[in-house]
């Protein structure tokens, strides 16, 4: 074959072969690029069933659009040869690069997370790989993973299940690679995406340890091992691996599909959360120089002569890594106490904690965050003793404005925090005129406090598993101290955020939100957090605008307004009323409090688009991408701003990047499908719409598509469904320019009444 030309492809080298055909490197002489050709052997092409499987591989891959899945270019026939042209991946397969003892964690996490992301994207489109193994995973020189060979993929169409199973098991043939197959697969039973989860578990095991979990001298004994054996935990094979990694892999390898993770996305969430526990919250920036170059001018910073402080997470010097949460929690408690000081700007958690685990000069950190002072420290727990060292560093000269060491019993932790807050504000008073820190209102039970800290740290991981752990911790705190208000308020906010992010329906979380904030306010009427959550649920669930306004006003009158409060107030209330300049100003304040929070930056851009400040919105979207280019929302906002500016080509490119990063986000899908339709790419629009089933959330993606394509009756249908389901996006977009055509439609009057829109 080498040297032969098929159509306009000149074959230059053989790359490999498998049950589905041979793979060759070739040069596309028309486009002058190298590609991979999969050629079906003559004897297989003569078999109608095998030929159909070959075509199905092309269909399966073509339906996918993800940076971690190989791209298909075309299906062709030349000189009676059937071939598939694909992206040529320059790199090594995992079986070529896997060390004898497995990858170290620094290499393991990026690789495994990308594999899980690729599978999650395929599963969301009803596609099962069926042959996941090291040879089918490539890694490029820059660390990008590409999952190859969906030749055994099965489109999950129930009506075709019987015929599919018969085809796959004809003459007793079991498709797949036995060492990486699930129990249901080796028994030739029907499989779904959970079979890939099992194969992913095998792959994770091998990547972590260098060896496979199931072994046998022959195929029969190997199949028996897959069906019956319980492999040793990876921590038994390799003692320095995290215990939770062993639990993740063990759950993937459950024999019963019902007991496994139910989606590859859940595995990805777990791996990412574990990576953060091991490496720290942020690994995006390895040096301060990287961060400064990427951030540039992330927000319009205030003059650093203003009294301002960043509280870094306290380093855990103890022998027990599970106490890491205590150092983080202690820093947050100091942060929250200082935030109550009138006139003192306190950088929020996301930005301050971006530097966790990095040995950086605090003066440079202060320069990046735009603050006058930085507080850093360490904590060591030994039995019931707590040893804390802290120092307040001035950004202008690096001098210690204050430092102290504490050695106290755990029961004195609250007095110690109060002393620290008072000492810090006293030091700042001399330099910047900051008033005293307010006195503590309530001293909780120490066990309740520890459970509360642990729960709050879990909530910051923002995964379903972490939420369950957080709820258990917060429930434990409530039982330990029934008069402690903060666990009730924290859990209520967590439930509301779940509703806002479609992790649970808003109507389902509403009772938990109301119960939590009601109890929190009974215990502590001075805490502003329950008030803004109460306003949020009054608006999102009952459309009670006047009540919401009262609660928001009460919660935002103090010296410190949390970023979540500004986001909810700006997005649900101000934006819902069409007060876009005010909503943009609120999001600007949130971004200034938390300058490395890419979410606040991206949402700020959205509000600027509404206010017709499109150039500013594009600038902010670019800055948000600088902070984290792997986050989908800034790319989506850049697309929306570019579309509003009439730059359709740039908009489509931005939407495509956002969709590749988050194919599950229906808003991006709606924008991209409409953009394809309006730029004459109907086939792509149709394919994308096919992936947006009635369960895709937010429903605004459907409304958006029909609005942009001038199908107003359909847009009204979907909008009414949003309102019925209490989809928060119904409020977010009620008065935006995008819904202008719908507001001129005869059905808007009813939609407006359903949302009780004022005016």
| Sequential DSSP letters for 395-439 | TTT--EEEEEEEEEEGGGHHHHHHHHHHHHHHHHHHHH---PPPP
131 has catalytic annotation: yes
pLDDT at 729 over 50: yes
* Residue 270: per-residue pLDDT: 79
* Residue 358: per-residue pLDDT: 64
Contacts of 473 (CB under 8 A, 6+ apart): 451, 452, 454, 455, 458
> What is the set of domains in the chain, with CATH numbers?
5-87 (3.30.200.20), 97-279 (1.10.510.10), 288-440 (3.40.50.10070), 444-560 (1.25.40.10)
* Residue 703: per-residue pLDDT: 94
* Residue 430: per-residue pLDDT: 56
641, 650 Cβ separation under 8 angstroms? no
Orientation angle between helical segments 264-279 and 105-124, nearest 10 degrees: 160
pLDDT-derived band at 304, boundaries 50, 70, 90: very low
pLDDT at 176 over 70: no
* Residue 167: per-residue pLDDT: 31
Say which range, 313-327, 384-398, 438-452, 741-755, has the weakest mean pLDDT: 313-327
> Cβ-count burial of 92 within 10 angstroms (0-12 exposed, 13-18 middle, 19+ buried)?
middle
pLDDT at 321 over 80: no
pLDDT-derived band at 166, boundaries 50, 70, 90: very low
* Residue 61: per-residue pLDDT: 67
SS3 105: helix
Distance CA 49, CA 28 (A): 29
Give how far Cα 240 sits from Cα of 102, 278, 496, 662, Å. Answer: 12, 12, 38, 33
Say which range, 203-212, 418-427, 532-541, has the weakest mean pLDDT: 418-427
* Residue 440: per-residue pLDDT: 63
* Residue 436: per-residue pLDDT: 55
pLDDT-derived band at 19, boundaries 50, 70, 90: low
pLDDT at 711 over 60: yes
Average pLDDT for residues 615-641, to the nearest whole number?
A: 90
Give how far Cα 63 sits from Cα of 16, 305, 491, Å. Answer: 24, 55, 40
Average pLDDT for residues 213-236, to the nearest whole number?
A: 91
Orientation angle between helical segments 506-523 and 528-542, nearest 10 degrees: 150
Strand partners, 403: 391
Distance CA 259, CA 252 (A): 8
* Residue 26: per-residue pLDDT: 92
pLDDT-derived band at 156, boundaries 50, 70, 90: very low
User: 543 or 288, which is more confident?
Assistant: 543
Average pLDDT for residues 255-273, to the nearest whole number?
A: 84
Backbone angles phi, psi at 283, to 5 degrees: -120, 15
Distance CA 17, CA 74 (A): 19
Strands 308-311 and 373-382: parallel
Average pLDDT for residues 484-489, to the nearest whole number?
A: 93
Q: Which of 453, 420, 449, 414 is nearest to 437 (CA)?
A: 420
DSSP string, 658-706: HHHH-TT-HHHHHHHHHHHHHTT-HHHHHHHHHH--TT-S-THHHHHHH
DSSP string, 474-494: HHHHHHH-TT--HHHHHHHHH
Distance CA 590, CA 620 (A): 13
* Residue 280: per-residue pLDDT: 52
Cα-to-chain-centroid distance, residue 511: 26
pLDDT-derived band at 300, boundaries 50, 70, 90: very low
Average pLDDT taken over every residue of the chain: 83
* Residue 633: per-residue pLDDT: 92
pLDDT at 660 over 90: no
Task: Report H helices in 501-647.
Answer: 506-523, 528-542, 545-555, 563-568, 580-593, 598-610, 614-627, 632-644
What does pTM read for this prediction? 0.57
Distance CA 121, CA 382 (A): 46
* Residue 171: per-residue pLDDT: 33
* Residue 161: per-residue pLDDT: 37
Cis peptide before 698 (omega within 30 of 0): yes
pLDDT-derived band at 269, boundaries 50, 70, 90: confident
* Residue 168: per-residue pLDDT: 36
Backbone angles phi, psi at 309, to 5 degrees: -150, 145
* Residue 225: per-residue pLDDT: 92
Q: Which of 291-295, 404-408, 680-684 has the largest mean confidence?
A: 680-684
Give how far Cα 143 sits from Cα of 73, 137, 660, Å. Answer: 23, 12, 17
Q: Which of 218-232, 273-287, 386-400 has the largest mean confidence?
A: 218-232
* Residue 281: per-residue pLDDT: 43
pLDDT-derived band at 21, boundaries 50, 70, 90: confident
Residue positions counted in the chain: 759
Strand partners, 505: none
pLDDT-derived band at 431, boundaries 50, 70, 90: low
pLDDT-derived band at 155, boundaries 50, 70, 90: very low
Catalytic residue chosen out of the listed positions 42, 47, 95, 131 = 131
> Could you identify the residue written with the tokens 């229906």?
666
pLDDT at 680 over 50: yes
Say which range, 304-308, 609-613, 619-623, 657-661, has the weakest mean pLDDT: 304-308
User: 464 or 178, which is more confident?
Assistant: 178
Token pair recorded at residue 332: 């947050």
pLDDT at 445 over 50: yes
pLDDT at 164 over 50: no
Backbone angles phi, psi at 30, to 5 degrees: -85, -50
Token pair recorded at residue 569: 């107030």
Distance CA 91, CA 143 (A): 9
pLDDT-derived band at 283, boundaries 50, 70, 90: very low
Write down the number of H helices and E strands in the chain.
35, 17
Contacts of 502 (CB under 8 A, 6+ apart): 697, 698
User: 360 or 497, which is more confident?
Assistant: 497
Average pLDDT for residues 163-179, to the nearest whole number?
A: 45
Distance CA 499, CA 572 (A): 13
């Amino acid at each position: 074959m080498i040297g032969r030309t098929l159509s306009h492809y000149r074959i230059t080298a053989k790359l490999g072969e498998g049950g589905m055909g041979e793979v060759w490197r070739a040069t596309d002489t028309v486009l002058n690029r190298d590609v991979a050709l999969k050629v079906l052997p003559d004897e297989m092409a003569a078999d109608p069933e095998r030929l159909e499987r070959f075509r199905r591989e092309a269909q399966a891959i073509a339906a996918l659009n993800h940076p971690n899945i190989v791209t298909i270019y075309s299906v062709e026939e030349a000189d009676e040869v059937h071939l598939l042209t694909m992206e040529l991946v320059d790199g090594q397969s995992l079986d070529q690069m896997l060390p004898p003892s497995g990858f170290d964690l620094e290499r393991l996490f990026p690789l495994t997370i990308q594999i899980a992301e690729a599978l999650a994207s395929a599963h969301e489109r009803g596609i099962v790989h069926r042959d996941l193994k090291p040879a089918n995973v490539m890694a490029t020189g820059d660390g990008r993973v590409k999952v190859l060979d969906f030749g055994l993929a099965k489109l999950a169409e129930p009506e075709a299940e019987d015929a599919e199973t018969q085809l796959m098991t004809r003459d007793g043939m079991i498709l797949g690679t036995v060492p990486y197959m699930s129990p249901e697969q080796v028994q030739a039973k029907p499989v779904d995406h959970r079979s890939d989860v099992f194969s992913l578990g095998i792959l994770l095991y091998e990547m972590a340890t260098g060896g496979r979990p199931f072994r046998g001298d022959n195929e029969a004994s190997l199949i028996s091992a897959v069906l019956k054996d319980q492999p040793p935990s990876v921590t038994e094979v390799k003692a320095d691996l995290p215990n939770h990694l062993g639990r993740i892999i063990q759950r993937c390898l459950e024999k019963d599909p019902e007991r496994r993770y139910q989606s590859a996305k859940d595995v990805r969430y777990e791996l990412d959360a574990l990576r953060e526990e091991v490496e720290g919250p942020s690994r995006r920036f390895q040096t301060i120089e990287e961060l400064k170059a990427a951030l540039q001018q992330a927000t319009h910073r205030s003059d650093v002569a203003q009294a301002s402080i960043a509280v870094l997470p306290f380093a855990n010097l103890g022998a027990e890594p599970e106490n890491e949460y205590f150092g983080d929690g202690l820093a947050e408690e100091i942060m929250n106490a200082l935030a109550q000081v009138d006139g003192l700007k306190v950088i929020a958690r996301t930005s301050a904690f971006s530097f966790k685990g990095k040995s950086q000069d605090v003066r440079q950190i202060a320069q990046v965050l735009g603050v006058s002072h930085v507080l850093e420290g360490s904590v060591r727990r030994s039995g019931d003793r707590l040893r804390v060292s802290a120092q307040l560093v001035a950004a202008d000269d690096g001098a210690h404005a204050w430092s102290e060491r504490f050695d106290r019993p755990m029961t004195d932790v609250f007095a110690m925090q109060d002393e620290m807050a008072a000492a810090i504000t006293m030091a700042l008073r001399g330099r910047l005129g900051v008033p005293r820190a307010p006195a503590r209102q309530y001293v909780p039970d120490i066990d309740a406090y520890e459970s509360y800290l642990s729960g709050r740290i879990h909530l910051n991981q923002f995964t379903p598993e972490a939420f369950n752990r957080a709820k258990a911790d917060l429930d434990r705190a409530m039982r330990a101290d029934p008069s402690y208000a903060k666990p009730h308020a924290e859990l209520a906010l967590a439930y509301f955020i779940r509703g806002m992010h479609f992790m649970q329906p808003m109507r389902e979380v509403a009772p938990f939100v109301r119960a939590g904030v009601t109890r929190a306010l009974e215990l502590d009427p001075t805490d502003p957090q329950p008030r803004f959550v109460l306003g949020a649920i009054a608006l999102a669930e009952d459309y009670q605008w006047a009540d919401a306004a009262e609660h928001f006003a009460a919660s935002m009158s103090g010296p410190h307004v949390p970023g979540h409060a500004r986001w909810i107030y700006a997005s649900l209330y101000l934006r819902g009323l069409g007060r876009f300049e005010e909503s943009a100003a609120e999001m600007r304040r949130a971004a200034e409090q938390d300058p490395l929070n890419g979410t606040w930056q991206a949402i700020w851009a959205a509000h600027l688009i509404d206010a017709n400040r499109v150039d500013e919105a594009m600038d902010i979207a670019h800055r948000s991408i600088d902070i984290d280019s792997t986050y989908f929302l800034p790319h989506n906002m850049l697309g929306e701003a570019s579309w509003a500016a009439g730059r359709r080509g740039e908009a489509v490119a931005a939407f495509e990047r956002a969709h590749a990063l988050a194919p599950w986000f229906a808003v991006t899908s709606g924008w991209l499908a409409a953009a394809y339709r309006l730029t004459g790419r109907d086939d792509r629009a149709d394919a994308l719409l096919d992936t947006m089933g009635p369960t895709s959330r937010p429903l605004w993606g459907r409304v958006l598509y029909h609005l942009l394509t001038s199908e107003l009756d359909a847009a009204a249908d979907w909008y009414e469904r949003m309102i019925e389901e209490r989809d928060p996006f119904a409020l977010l977009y009620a008065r935006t320019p995008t819904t202008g055509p719908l507001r001129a439609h005869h059905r808007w009057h009813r939609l407006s009444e359903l949302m009780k829109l004022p005016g």
